[in-house]
Amino acid sequence: MDYQLSQRHPAAESAGLRATPSKPHICILGGGFGGLYTAVYLQKFRATRGDRVQITLIDRNERFLFTPLLYELITNELQTWEIAPTYQQLLAKTNVQFRQDTVQGFDLQARRVDLGTGAFLHYDYLVVATGSQARYVPVPGLQAHSLPFRTLIDAERLKMRLQELQQRSQPKLQLLIIGAGPSGVELACKLADQLGDRAHVVLADLGQQILTPFSDSLRRAASRALAQRGVEVLLETGAVQVEAQRTQLKQGDRLFWQPTDLLLWTAGTQPHPWMGYHPIAQNAQGQYLTRPTLQLQGYPEVFVVGDVATVQSKRGGPAPNTAQAAYQAADRVAKNLKAAITGKKLKPFHYSHLGDMLTLGIGSAVVDSSLGLTLTGKLAAIARRGVYTHRLPTWPHRLKVCGHLLRTGLRRLWQAMKRWRQWLKMT
């Protein structure tokens, strides 16, 4: 179905928007935290529900991915359906139409989105939430011989590769992770716990410390977790050349070859390239310049959310490219869309940091709150799981995940009680 623009009224809003038609069409590009959560938050407002607006969410994938819990797939602590429900399931009983398709480009003047299937959509409001992708550096052999870890496909490929490697008769697997940011640290701890003595895990980074933008207390907790698991950390170290079973590293003036059965690249991301037919202003990182209201500069009917947007935090400076920042911005975009549709004033967005959480192995984590409280170990793992379960996109899915967790816990408790009874009988 192709949506056509409704006839417009002559009045103009103070935000630079033309008058809203009787049934505006909101088109959302990208179903990550920015895009999906904008669609979900729009359901809270009467002005954007039912037959009042048309909302179309476009994503190339069938499933949404709750990326902070992607690491639990590798260790089988969580199942795919828990962290990657389908868009159809999440958007059932809403007025959001999901289209699984690619975006070829969009015309800001004609307000038209061209899709990979040849179809096109006209919009009254456009939300660009196309997210980010792995950023590679020009190292010979890097892309050919490494695996990224950002998507559901990446996780599935990693699991398959680990299974293949473990079937070999070699005494110890050599795993190298390049990039000691949150993704690299979390992966290193999970893989070290899962593989134990069967693998030697090395974590390398060009920086002078791990988790550079994080607090000292969180870095100390992560360093302890890595040391306890025997992960070798190589700082001020970068890749020079990558081959099938070895990687040449440089640490200062020292060049050496590191045996590598599996190389994981977690050393940075970059925004997806701009897909509009008209050029726009971008910063040095490739993010699209926006107003404080998250409207694209020069195009007030276009909102930008997530990793591709320039967002300021309350502390000053840019906000991080995290799920936390994206779903906060999505809430503001949804409210500003409602304001635009109802002719009210749009409000600026400022990111508010609530703290950081990292998994540090199976059943272990660190939680560093904005209040200065840091939890580690099993208690932190429980807190992290609880917070992320609450942050899942919809209440029906949250309840489904909680129900499964409760049933699993009761089943384990019952099995433990049976083993206890058997032990008592034997004694």
- For residue 30, the domain's CATH number is 3.50.50.60
**Domain containing residue 409:** 137-267+355-417
Comparing 188-197, 314-323, 357-366, 389-398, the range with the smallest average pLDDT is 314-323
Q: What is the mean pLDDT of residues 236-260?
A: 96
Under a CB-based contact definition with an 8 Å cutoff, are residues 127 and 29 in contact? yes
Backbone torsions φ then ψ of 207, nearest 5 degrees: -75, 175
Residue 93 within any structural domain of the chain: no
pLDDT digits (tens, 9 = 90+) for 123-139: 999 999 999 998 999 99
Question: With bands split at pLDDT 50, 70 and 90, how would you rate the model's confidence at 169?
Answer: low
Question: Checking DSSP bridges between strand 295-296 and strand 232-234, what pairing results, if any?
Answer: unpaired
Both 184 and 248 in a single domain? Answer: yes
Residue 96 has pLDDT above 80, yes or no: yes
Do the beta carbons of residue 340 and residue 125 sit within 8 Å?
yes
Predicted confidence at residue 418, as pLDDT, reads: 77
The pLDDT tens digits for 100-121 are 999 999 999 999 999 999 999 9
* Per-residue model confidence (pLDDT) at position 2: 38
Residue 263 and residue 184 share a domain:
yes
pLDDT category, 18, cuts 50, 70, 90?
low
Q: What is the CATH number of the domain that holds 200?
A: 3.50.50.100
Provide the number of structural domains found in the chain. Answer: 2
Same domain, 180 and 220: yes
Structural domain contains residue 10: no
> Are 117 and 39 within one domain?
yes
Contact 262, 159 (CB under 8 A): no
Q: Does 185 lie in the same domain as 55?
A: no
248 and 316 share one domain: no
Residue 200 lies in a domain: yes
Q: 363 and 260, same structural domain? A: yes
Asked if residues 81 and 403 have their Cβ atoms less than 8 Å apart, the reply is no
> Which one of 342, 371, 396 terminates a domain?
342
pTM of the predicted model, to two decimals?
0.90
